[in-house]
Amino acid sequence: MEAFFATQNEPAYRARQILQWVHQYGVTDFNVMSNLGKSLRQKLSELTECPLLTPIIDKTASDGTRKWLLRLNDGNCIETVFIPETSRGTLCVSSQVGCMLNCTFCSTATQGFSRNLSVAEIIGQVFFAVRALSAENGRHDRTITNVVMMGMGEPLLNFDNVVSAMSLMMEDLAYGLAKRRVTLSTSGVVPEMHRLAQVSEVSLAVSLHAPNDELRDQLVPINKKYPLAELMAACKQHFPADSKRKVTFEYVMLKDVNDSPALAKQLVRLLEGVPAKLNLIPFNPFPKTHYVCSDEETILRFKDIVSRSGIQTTVRKTRGEDIDGACGQLVGDFKDRTRRKERFLREKISIQVED
């Protein structure tokens, strides 16, 4: 923004003024920006725009989780979710329209892929949510304290736009979030993980879901390109050696697929030497999936095996399931360039007919 204002023969501090007007005060009408000269306001109105996302659906779950279907300027729609808790509020932000990857247990993956989101469309979700939540009579439990790039899409496959948007989330003149309170979740795009470590200090979460290559190839197909040996090496190196920060590993619990005691022991061996925390995620069902969530006893047994090794292990509480706002359930409304959704439905119909 400073470079832009330089091209307009304006001082660099104009960038700081605009950041505050837009992100802190929520003002997108340049004519209201009273500390800008009239000629500059006119010029900005002619040369620039502040595109806003339009809410199409606004749902609140029984547990207070709130989900929005937001329409982009091209007609595509994405989903954004807010999860309120006693001591914090987490906003789950999308990075792509759909997802390039094809993780078999994820509803978003069955919808295919359209395109990457722009910086404006990513940070626009935060802009929208801040204003929507503050309108709820100033309720203290609706404050956004954390942002997770865990919505629709693989963030590292939209690297530059995601990093720029996260920088705005942490910018004191915008949203002022601490680096530990912004988390990027990846399925394991190893080259981009190395890049991320060089340019950003945000927290890192890795969608693991299996402790060996054979099983992970089935659940998370990108593992065929970046197998576990490469992924674990990248995780070991991600934070500085003198840092106490840890990588969070996400592991969805699938009945009779990845939840056995033997696999729990494999997982312990896989994470040996990695600065790791483990988050076990009960599987959230979606239409036409053949997966079933592990029962509570199995999840707790799995947790106990891993915990005994000294790895901090928690079981994620399912939130927003009754509005399809839980992990793995996000589905937008867009034109699928991959035709994956069409194939998914055709295959399911074929199986039902055969049965």
Catalytic residue positions, numbered? 79, 327
> Encoding tokens for residue 297?
């006893």
Q: What is the Cα–Cα distance from 222 to 213, expressed in whole angstroms?
A: 11
| Residue 290 tokens, joined | 């053949």
CA nearest to 330, candidates 84, 74, 97:
97
Half-sphere exposure of 341 (CA within 13 A, CB side): 16
The residue behind tokens 């309720």 is 139
Number of neighbouring beta carbons within 10 Å of residue 37: 11
Quick check: helix, strand or coil at residue 146?
strand
Tell me the C-alpha distance between 277 and 310, whole Å. Answer: 10
- Tokens 């079981």: give the residue: 315
What is the rounded CA–CA span in Å between residue 94 and residue 123?
10
Amino acid occupying residue 13: Y
- CA 351/CA 32 separation, integer angstroms: 59
Q: What is the dihedral of CA 143, 329, 93, 234, to 10 degrees?
A: 120
Q: How big is the chain, counted in residues?
A: 355
Question: Around Cβ 28, how many Cβ atoms within 10 Å?
Answer: 14
> What is residue 69's three-state secondary structure?
strand
Q: How far apart are CA 333 and CA 75, in angstroms?
A: 9
DSSP run (H or E) holding 49 = none
- CB within 8 Å of 304: residues ≥ 6 apart: none
DSSP letter (8 states) at residue 42: H
